[in-house]
Structure 1
């Protein structure tokens, strides 16, 4: 089944951060944010470079820092900044270099199933998985999937394949923050997790009529 090794580091952060998180700021149920010096120092002191996993992963960019306090980020006062951050992320999206949106849906299914990549045990240059099933229902044949994100069954069949729809789906995969500043979805293209060809394969998984995603209900696979 899907490899969840890359989430071990996140679990380790939570375990190590336990004491620090308990010392919440006055009047806040969220606790230390991106600007909390003690919290940042604790993280830096608790980890070290190993393999391709470098300490620069602990450094937040503007988008991550903005979303570190979800209540503040969702407040009406932050609406203008949210829009600016989304626009900045949209500007990072690289569209298909050859103008073609779709690759091979069968390859897309392999990428969606794989959660491998970006750990210290991985070698530089090895392709990463998308780990899509960790959050989404995709193929009706797969019984193990997460529910953090919406079900993607019938994705292309329900939406069609016009240019606007394709661009929205591509942008979501390439940089989800371009459409929702604090989306839980990783910025797969922008952060170098997935290459252009891999994104095309995932697009095919979503839109190709032959993909199991778009099979009619009850139709055997």
Structure 2
């Protein structure tokens, strides 16, 4: 009821005449306004505002998937994971540092008008600390400084790290971490490079 009242108040403030209707009518109206709020056109990635089955379930259960549903949920997410054609889940840490640092991630639109196909990075510093020399790091996610020192670079650690970056819901239903591989933000090769940045002893993350 609170959500309904807030939604009605918001739409009224925007100059919209609203008649309180069924919940699904209100939800449809909200979706309509969200969709119209994005610039339309080629490469604007407006498909992002359409929820897939995972997002719908997380919305329905307020990010707390019932225990009896969690196994099927995570198995479905794991089935989306794709690996590099080379089979190597840890790539080049120096390239991984660039991908980790690049701040564009999956914003709506293009990186710059004259380079519509420019490679996007992960914007990982928005949520995680990594290289201790980088001061502009968020703390929404856990710190990754010393990641390889703490966890090592065993095949098990590398596989877990790769899969967690590719689709975080594989290990934590309704994780707040973006599904970077699943959503096409990063390629398998880019993710492998980030893994190397986190686990390689030569990476500044582990110095």
Q: Which of the five TM-score ranges fits, normalised by the shorter chain?
A: 0.7 to 0.9
Compared CA separation, residues 39 and 51, structure 1 to 2 (3 A): same
Contact kept? 1:52, 1:120, Cα under 8 Å: yes
Q: TM-score, normalised by structure 1?
A: 0.75
Contact kept? 1:51, 1:121, Cα under 8 Å: no
Equivalent residues in 2 for 1:131-142 (5 A)? 131-142=123-134
Equivalent residues in 2 for 1:163-182 (5 A)? 163-182=155-174
Which ranges of structure 2 fall in alignment gaps of 5 or more residues?
1-6, 14-22
Equivalent residues in 2 for 1:148-163 (5 A)? 148-163=140-155
SS at match of 1:68: helix
Q: Output one character per residue of 1:48-72: Cα deviation in whole Å (capped at 9) or x when no partner.
A: 423311332211001111222564x
Count of residue correspondences: 186
How far the C-alpha of 1:74 sits from its partner, in A, is 1.7
Q: Which residue of 2 aligns with 1:94?
A: 82
Q: 1:46 aligns with which of 23, 37, 53?
A: 37
How far the C-alpha of 1:41 sits from its partner, in A, is 2.0
Compared CA separation, residues 97 and 143, structure 1 to 2 (3 A): same
Task: Give the stretch that moved more between structures: 196-205 or 117-126.
Answer: 117-126
Structure 1 residue 184 and structure 2 residue 176: aligned?
yes
How far the C-alpha of 1:117 sits from its partner, in A, is 4.8
Which ranges of structure 1 fall in alignment gaps of 5 or more residues?
1-15, 23-31, 216-221
Distance 2:8 2:37 in 1: 9
How far the C-alpha of 1:166 sits from its partner, in A, is 1.4
Compared CA separation, residues 81 and 38, structure 1 to 2 (3 A): farther
Distance 2:90 2:29 in 1: 46
